[in-house]
Structure 1
Amino acid sequence: MSKHKISFNVDVRERVGTGGAREARRLGFVPGVLYGGDLAPVAINLKKAEVIKAIETGQFLNTTATLIHKGEKQLVIPQGIQMHPVSDQPWHVDLRRVEPDQIIKVEVPVHFKGQEASPGLKKGGTLNVVRHSVELNVPAAKIPEYLEADISALEVGDNVKISDIKLPSNATPAITDRDFTIATIAGRGGKAEEEPAAVASADAVPAAKAKAPAAGAAAAPAKGAAPAKGAAPAKPAGKK
């Protein structure tokens, strides 16, 4: 699960401020700032085509990149990118210096495998993804491209937790106080087991109501039985 190799050929931007950034964009560059470590921040220009290519990997903000300046290389991790609100083109980039063994915090996407084999999905269950990505503390040089969750043996009601996922060497979840859930296999509407009982109960209600006397009505006495005490005697038919 190696990361996409992203690199930027950069130049130091001598002119800083709004005027320098505007000039950089006019010349086909994306202005940026490099900071972090023991060195002072440096204004830089990145080639626009290289920035766009990095964005298109879909992992620009959760992977490291290599800056190349006059043959010297520096490992960095992008910290933010601004896009133009109208043209949606890259407008400014912030990069932070890191060392290969430095522990950094990054979001890593989760990929799921085994959907075609999952008995729970075969029975009509659905994959309910709780976390599409997981935040890890990991060495800068060992950031995985993605984490893999195997759901091939899961039944309805089963789940995948972070402890079920193999993490790269020296990587730990940023959340450490619980074994949190990544995804579950849910039944249809979450009530698949309750539906038959609910239908049977609904069918039984009309029959029960048909046998019950109307509210406030006295039950008819059996043939030949005396009327209930206090009840008015029945009047003969045809007489008023």
Structure 2
Amino acid sequence: MAKTHEIKVEKRNDEGKGASRRLRRAGFVPAIVYGGEVKPVSIQLLHNDVWHASQNEWFYSSILDLSLGGDVQKVLLRDMQRHPFKQLVLHLDFQRVNENEAIRVRVPLHFMNQEASPAGKTSGVVITHEMNEVEISCLPKDLPEYIEIDLSALKTDEIVHLSDLKLPAGVEIPELRFGKEHDHAVVVAKEVREEVEAAPVAAEGEAAAAAPAGATAAAAPAKKDEKK
């Protein structure tokens, strides 16, 4: 189960683009909390707190405790707007979590023991990670921060599919409900063979065309003069 992380927030009363710009200049990030039976609430967070949290994997896949003056609400980050080129977070969307309802979250994949595997030790074998995260469904109490994939037994030309992942109790991959065609590859170990390109062989006609004109004339027998 993923750990919960507490983040302090403040309620904001001013809304609109002008108010958001003023908040950002003052070092805050405007945000909104929605979902459940409670109406959406506009909040603000210190930008430095948000920026440091955003450098961690858990910020995107864990239950977050938003603390508003002692009132704690459990939420998931659903959207984050960043500045196109500056290291600035512009806006956040949080969704309230019901402890008794399943949630869908994309969690990162951690690949373990790849170098120690038979495929990892074989020269000329390339191991490709086709996915770096996967969408899971579970109750909030069962939410893992990540899914580990043990590749210690991976062999050349083997493929690890979604159905091969060992999931924690209470966790499932919703996409697998729709049939085998949705059982996508996660890891592929493939041997790369070097292809030696054969030198092109010139056709006889090309060789003849490339020969000097004088050589062709010299090769032809001279005609005898029949008249004396």
Same fold, TM-score > 0.5, yes or no: yes
Within 2, Cα distance between the matches of 1:45 and 1:53?
16
Bigger relative contact order, structure 1 or 2 (CA pairs below 8 A, ≥6 apart):
2
Equivalent residues in 2 for 1:1-240, closer than 5 Å: 2-3=1-2, 5-124=4-123, 125-176=125-176, 177-178=179-180, 179-188=183-192, 191=193
Measure the CA separation in 2 of the matches of 1:84 and 1:31. 13
Alpha-carbon separation, structure 1, partners of 2:80 and 2:116: 40
After superposition, the C-alpha distances for 1:119-175 in whole angstroms (9 at most, x for unaligned) are 122222111111121111122232212111122222211121222221122211121
**Offset at residue 86 of structure 1 (A):** 4.5
**Which 4+ residue blocks in structure 1 deviate beyond 6 angstroms?**
none
State how far apart, in whole Å, the 2-side matches of 1:187 and 1:138 are. Answer: 37
- Tell me, which stretches of 5 or more residues in structure 1 are unaligned? 207-213, 216-239
SS of the equivalent of 1:172 reads coil
Residue deviations 1:66-103 (CA, integer Å, cap 9, x gap) = 11112111100111111233532111111111123321
What code does the residue aligned with 1:14 have?
Answer: N
Identity of aligned residues (%): 32
State the aligned residue count.
Answer: 203
Alpha-carbon spacing, 1:34–1:152, altered in 2? closer, same or farther (3 Å): same
Deviations 1:43-78 (A, max 9, x none): 111122221121010343322211111211110011
TM-aligned CA distance change 1:85 to 1:114, over 3 Å: closer
Secondary structure at the aligned position of 2:116 is classed as coil
User: What letter matches 2:110 in structure 1?
Assistant: H
Q: TM-score, normalised by structure 1?
A: 0.74
- Which protein shows a greater Rg? 1
Separation in 2, partners of 1:91, 1:37 = 25
SS in structure 2 at match of 1:37: coil
